[in-house]
């Protein structure tokens, strides 16, 4: 196990050190099948934001599919790695902090993978409130949600886990669950502990 000086995932430097050392055990190295299926089924392209995008394979895939996509990451090293990895599609990746970023256009979709679980539990309400603030009623939040009942993993991360009941309680004040399915192509760190979910923004809050 590699050791890094920065221990605080709230700081860009934490992620910079890991991207610079190419220590990225969360990185899938490609586009998850459930996202491919979601795009294939979509009635129309959606204006999409990918918060905490890392290498941003999904940004390249969505742009190639004709979707208006912006992928953001606050780590300069993550953004540099993404631009190096995805070539011309790197123009869709920008350095920005999710909690400050203002999209240029009204969003139809936020895509989630390994961002919610990258930050400590205390940040979860803020993340969900920001998703809710960025999405108009009817817009979608779709992606991969990491759940694990281990109390140790909820405190020791990233990834920081939570139970599926806690996940439901966190998101359901703002979104209704439309889809919830097993993931067929998880990488080892998430195997058996992630669900593909699609949530729709409610009008009420």
Ligand X SMILES: C[S@@+](CC[C@H](N)C(=O)[O-])C[C@H]1O[C@@H](n2cnc3c(N)ncnc32)[C@H](O)[C@@H]1O
Question: What does the binding site for ligand X look like in residue numbers (CB under 6 A)?
Answer: 15, 26-27, 51-55, 72-75, 78, 97-99, 113-115, 118, 158
Min CB(96)–ligand X separation in Å: 6
What are the structure tokens assigned to 45, written together? 């392209």
Give the residue with the Cβ less far from ligand X, 67 or 98.
98
Q: Which residue has the tokens 């969900």?
A: 128
Min CB(183)–ligand X separation in Å: 13
Give the residue with the Cβ less far from ligand X, 51 or 90.
51
Strand ranges of the sheet holding 48-51, from the earlier edge strand across to the other edge? 93-95, 69-73, 48-51, 109-113, 140-146, 194-201, 175-182
Estimate the share of the chain in helix, then strand, then coil, as percent rounded to the nearest 5.
35, 20, 45
Answer for the pair 144, 175: CB distance below 8 angstroms, yes or no.
no
Give the residue with the Cβ less far from ligand X, 67 or 115.
115
Min CB(142)–ligand X separation in Å: 13
Give the residue with the Cβ less far from ligand X, 97 or 165.
97
């Amino acid at each position: 196990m590699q050791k890094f000086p920065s221990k605080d995932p709230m700081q860009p430097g934490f992620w910079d050190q890991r991207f610079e050392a190419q220590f990225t055990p969360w990185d899938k190295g490609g586009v998850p099948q459930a996202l491919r299926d979601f795009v294939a089924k979509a009635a129309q392209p959606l204006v999409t934001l990918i918060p905490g995008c890392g290498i941003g394979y999904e940004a390249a895939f969505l742009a190639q599919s004709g979707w208006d996509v912006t992928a953001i990451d606050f780590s300069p090293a993550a953004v540099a790695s993404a631009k190096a990895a995805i070539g011309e599609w790197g123009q869709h990746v920008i350095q920005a902090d999710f909690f400050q970023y203002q999209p240029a256009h009204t969003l139809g979709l936020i895509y989630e993978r390994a961002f919610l679980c990258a930050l400590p539990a205390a940040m979860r309400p803020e993340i969900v409130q920001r998703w809710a603030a960025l999405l108009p009623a009817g817009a979608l939040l779709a992606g991969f949600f990491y759940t694990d009942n281990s109390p140790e993993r909820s405190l020791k991360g990233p990834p920081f886990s939570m139970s599926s009941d806690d996940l439901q309680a966190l998101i359901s004040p703002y979104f209704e669950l439309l889809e919830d399915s097993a993931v067929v192509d998880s990488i080892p760190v998430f195997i058996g502990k992630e669900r593909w979910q699609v949530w729709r923004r409610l009008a009420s809050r």
